[in-house]
């Protein structure tokens, strides 16, 4: 079972719904870009997991995923152009993911429909506006029975 399969599923969902000029990147792809931040972009970032419930040999876990809109804010003294671009991308992102249930995976991973969670605060770093949204989904992981 691929515990982090949601990353690939989220990226595919967003690539199919956002304009083709928007790059959809994983956290590793963003790190590889370094200071050359590609914009406009949406970053898909794993935010961790929390135990929801536990029963004999199984755990229900809630995964948090961040989707972060990144748009260039340089040469925009008021920030209006960057805010508008980020707002349009965020609207499409929200419409694409609210209530969406990632498809079941051949390895048995089943994720619940995405629900919004409290996001991090927006920020501007090195001329790029970052506007995050947070999502939670649950999955059940079963232990391997060695008997």
Residues 6 or more apart in contact with residue 4 via CB below 8 angstroms: 46
Asked whether the beta carbons of 10 and 67 are under 8 A apart, the reply is: yes
End-to-end CA distance of the chain: 20
- Tell me which H or E stretch contains 96: helix 80-97
Of the candidates 60, 63, 90, 85, the one whose C-alpha atom is nearest the C-alpha of residue 72 is 85
- pLDDT single digits (tens) 30-87: 988 876 889 999 999 999 999 988 888 888 899 999 999 999 988 878 888 999 999 9
More confident call, 89 vs 52? 89
For residue 22, give the DSSP letter: S
* Cα 22 from Cα 15, distance rounded (Å): 8
**Within a 10 A sphere around the Cβ of 108, how many other Cβ atoms?**
12
pLDDT of residue 68: 97
Does residue 107 register a pLDDT over 90? no
Q: Which two tokens stand for residue 56?
A: 């004999």
């Amino acid at each position: 079972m691929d515990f982090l399969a949601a990353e690939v599923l989220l990226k595919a969902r967003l690539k199919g719904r956002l304009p083709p000029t928007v790059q959809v990147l994983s956290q590793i792809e963003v790190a590889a870009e370094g200071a050359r931040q590609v914009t406009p972009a949406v970053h898909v970032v794993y935010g961790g997991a929390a135990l929801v419930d536990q029963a004999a040999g199984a755990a229900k876990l809630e995964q948090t995923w961040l989707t972060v809109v990144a748009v260039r804010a340089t040469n925009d003294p008021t920030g209006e152009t960057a805010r508008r671009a980020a707002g349009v991308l965020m609207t499409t992102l929200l419409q694409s993911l609210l209530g969406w249930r990632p498809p079941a995976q051949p390895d048995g991973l089943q994720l619940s429909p995405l629900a919004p969670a409290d996001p991090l605060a927006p920020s501007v770093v090195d001329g790029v506006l970052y506007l995050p949204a947070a999502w939670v989904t649950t999955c059940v992981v079963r232990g391997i029975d060695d008997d």
